[in-house]
């Protein structure tokens, strides 16, 4: 502004003078020209600085916009003497810190997603608008759903009335709730422990998290144990009642009648054997659970002789049920095994073949071998086992259905589980082939050189 004022005064002085210029006037004119030139330079410099300042502001604004959008922004580099240097360095640090935080959050999010997706527990997250936000693969599998990725009402996915009611109760009461739910699904029913959690967040926000635990196996085992207790109690009560009743009758005078004495003693003996068999089954399943490789007595045994010993012990059962047992194992076969456990296996399989057979039926034992393994095959032409029951027959306490609907065969449900446990202890495996009404074949495979099972 000072330069402009000086130029204005010089111009006025020139206008008041004559047409001829003195030395002083020429100096004024030169001063005026210089002033105009300097002013022009200052204007150019000012606008240049203003332009550079605007460009820096635009660059900083663009970088901050990229940071707000979560985009990767390039660094702004300025010389240290630039007036915007400190501000630019601060913005660069903010962008670097923000990018680092986003990277950490992304990694944590991916880790959490991987954990949730691989959990064996179903996880379903529902927001306060009752929309599904997340459903992991376990939930999709348990509920057999095809869940949309976009938020949508949970009622489109949850069809079970009791599970819907549990979720709604959580929304209404703002409290956690849990319940055991039976899911009707293919190919079999699932038993689910459903826990619905009310998760309070900030600013009056909240979400509901549904956790689904598949307890089908534990529930099934519990039911089988309850059934076993009931069945075992019945099995125990029947012979005990008979023994007590006939013993009391003998003591009241029936012992004086020789015919009655023999008849009642035979009944008492028969019922006593039932008690012994039940007790042996319970003890056997306990032993197989506690056995380890060090407790086994592995020796070389004649398989045919070992099988025949167990067959001879079942002679009375063969006569009672009119079933023939044929030992087709070659006499020269020697195997490395624990004779006591293998004998128990043979006894249980042959006894099953006799018990669940028909008059004039037969049970056969045969032998096969490969390079490194040998097989014991026990077959019968008895009542057979339904296809849907075959996967369960080696479960403890499970008893197959009899020919009549809803009726179970007699016994404790421990015979085949004892076989399965003992075969595993001997390093082998057992397979079942059966057809209802035509009979069953049990194929036991063992290594020629004994070794503990992989479980040990």
Provide the 10 A C-beta neighbour count for residue 345. Answer: 27
Q: What is the CATH number of the domain that holds 264?
A: 1.10.287.130
Which tens digit of pLDDT belongs to each residue from 138-157?
888 888 878 777 888 998 88
> Token pair for residue 414?
């421990």
Which residues constitute the domain of residue 28? 2-101
Give the total number of structural domains in the chain: 4
Average pLDDT, the chain: 81
Inside any domain, residue 453? no
Domain CATH for 425: 3.30.565.10
Mean pLDDT of 97-104: 76
Which H/E stretch holds residue 161?
helix 161-173
364 in Cβ contact with 378 (< 8 Å): yes
Whether 129 and 257 share a structural domain: no
Residue 177 lies in a domain: yes
> In this model, does residue 437 exceed pLDDT 80?
yes
Distance, in Å, from the CA atom of 405 to the CA atom of 186, rounded to the nearest integer, reads: 22
CA 68 to chain centre: 40
Q: What is the mean pLDDT of residues 260-283?
A: 81
Domain end call among 101, 132, 158? 101
Contact (CB, 8 A) for 311 and 329? no
Whole-angstrom distance, CA of residue 188 vs CA of residue 176: 29
Per-residue confidence band for 456, with pLDDT thresholds at 50, 70 and 90:
very low
Note whether 136 and 156 are same-domain residues: yes
pLDDT of the residue at 127 = 92
Residue 55 and residue 29 share a domain: yes
203-234 residue pLDDT tens: 778 999 999 999 988 888 788 777 767 766 77
Instruction: State yes or no: pLDDT of 402 exceeds 60.
Output: no
- On whether residue 113 sits in a domain, the answer given is no
pLDDT, tens only, 275-291: 887 777 767 766 665 55
Distance of CA 286 to the CA centre of its chain: 29
Q: What is the CATH number of the domain that holds 210?
A: 3.30.450.20
**pLDDT tens per residue, range 178-190:** 999 988 877 778 8
Residue 447 has pLDDT above 60, yes or no: yes
Q: Check whether residue 301 and residue 390 sit in a common domain.
A: yes
Residue 57 has pLDDT above 90, yes or no: no
Q: What is the CA radius of gyration of the chain?
A: 46
Q: pLDDT tens across 335-383, in order?
A: 999 898 899 899 999 988 998 888 899 999 999 998 899 999 999 999 8
Q: Are residues 189 and 320 in the same domain?
A: no
Higher pLDDT, 9 or 303: 303
Asked if residue 24 and residue 77 are part of one domain, the reply reads yes
Token pair recorded at residue 254: 């029936």
The model's confidence at residue 15, banded by pLDDT at 50, 70 and 90, is low
Specify whether 23 is located in the same domain as 149: no
76-94 residue pLDDT tens: 676 777 776 777 777 777 7
124 pairs with which residues across the strands?
135, 210
Mean pLDDT, residues 28-45: 80
Instruction: Select from 156, 179, 214 the last residue of a domain.
Output: 214
Q: Quick check: is 363 in a domain?
A: yes
- 357 lies in some domain: yes
Q: Would 267 be classed as within a structural domain?
A: yes
Q: What is the pLDDT of residue 88?
A: 73
pTM for the complete prediction?
Answer: 0.50
DSSP letters, 390-440, are GGGTTSTT---B-SSTT-B-SS-S-HHHHHHHHHHHTT-EEEEEEETTTEE
Q: Is residue 456 part of a domain?
A: no
**With pLDDT > 70 as the criterion, what percentage of the chain qualifies?**
83
pLDDT band at 194 (very low <50, low <70, confident <90, very high): very high
Helix/strand/coil percentages in the chain, nearest 5: 55, 20, 25
Both 258 and 349 in one domain: the answer is: no
Length of the chain: 456
Q: Please state, in angstroms and rounded to a whole number, the distance separating the CA atoms of residues 151 and 127.
A: 9
pLDDT at 404 exceeding the cut of 50: no
Q: What pLDDT is stored for residue 53 in this prediction?
A: 75
Q: pLDDT class for 193, splitting at 50, 70, 90?
A: very high
> Does position 117 have pLDDT exceeding 60, yes or no?
yes
Residues 96, 189 within the same domain:
no
pLDDT at 263 over 70: yes
Q: Are residues 228 and 244 in the same domain?
A: yes
**Main-chain dihedrals φ then ψ at residue 2, nearest 5 degrees:** -65, -40
Whether 112 is in a domain gets the answer no
Residues 320 and 276 in one domain: no
Pull the structure tokens for residue 428. Answer: 């082998």
Last residue of a domain, one of 101, 127, 145: 101
Question: What CA dihedral angle connects 353, 354, 356 and 361, to 10 degrees?
Answer: 90
Q: Which two tokens stand for residue 95?
A: 């962008």
Regarding whether 424 and 332 lie in a shared domain, the answer is: yes
């Amino acid at each position: 502004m000072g330069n402009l004022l000086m130029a204005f005064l010089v111009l006025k002085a020139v206008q008041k003078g004559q047409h001829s210029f003195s030395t002083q006037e020429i100096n004024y004119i030169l001063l005026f020209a210089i002033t105009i030139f300097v002013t022009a330079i200052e204007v150019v410099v000012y606008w240049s600085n203003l332009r550079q300042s605007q460009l820096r502001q635009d660059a900083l604004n663009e970088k901050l916009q990229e940071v707000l959008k979560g985009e990767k922004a390039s660094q702004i580099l300025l010389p240290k003497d630039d007036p915007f240097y400190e501000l630019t360095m601060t913005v660069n640090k903010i962008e670097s810190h923000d990018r680092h935080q986003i990277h950490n959050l992304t990694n944590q999010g991916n880790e959490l997603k991987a954990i949730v997706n691989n959990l064996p527990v179903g996880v379903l997250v529902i927001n306060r608008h009752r929309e599904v936000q997340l459903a992991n693969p376990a939930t999709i599998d348990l509920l057999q759903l095809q869940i949309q990725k976009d938020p949508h009402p949970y009622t489109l996915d949850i069809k079970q009335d009791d599970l819907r009611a549990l979720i709604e109760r959580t929304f209404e009461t703002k409290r956690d709730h849990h319940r055991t739910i039976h899911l009707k699904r293919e190919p079999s029913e699932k038993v689910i422990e459903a826990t619905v959690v009310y998760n309070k967040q900030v600013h009056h926000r909240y979400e509901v998290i549904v956790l689904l635990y598949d307890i089908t196996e534990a529930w099934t085992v519990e039911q089988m144990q309850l059934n076993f207790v009931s069945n075992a109690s019945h099995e125990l009560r029947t012979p005990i009642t008979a023994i007590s009743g006939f013993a009391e009758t003998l003591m009241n005078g029936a012992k004086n009648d020789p015919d009655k004495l023999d008849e009642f003693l035979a009944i008492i003996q028969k019922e006593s054997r039932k008690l012994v068999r039940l007790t042996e089954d319970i003890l056997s399943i306990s032993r197989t659970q506690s056995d380890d490789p060090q407790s086994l007595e592995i020796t070389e045994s004649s398989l045919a002789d070992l099988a025949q010993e167990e067959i001879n012990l079942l002679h009375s059962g063969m006569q009672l049920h009119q079933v023939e047992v044929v030992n087709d194992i070659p006499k020269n076969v020697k195997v490395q095994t624990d004779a006591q456990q293998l004998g128990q296996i043979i006894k249980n399989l042959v006894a099953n073949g006799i018990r669940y057979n028909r008059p004039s039926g037969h049970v056969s034992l045969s032998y096969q071998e490969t390079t490194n393994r040998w097989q014991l095959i026990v077959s019968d032409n008895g009542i057979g086992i339904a296809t849907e029951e075959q996967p369960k027959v080696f479960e403890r306490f499970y008893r197959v259905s009899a020919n009549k609907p809803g009726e179970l065969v007699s016994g404790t449900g421990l015979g085949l589980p004892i076989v399965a446990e003992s075969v595993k202890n001997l390093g082998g495996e057992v397979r079942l082939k059966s057809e209802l009404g035509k009979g069953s074949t049990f194929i036991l495979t063992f290594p020629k050189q004994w070794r503990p099972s992989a479980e040990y």
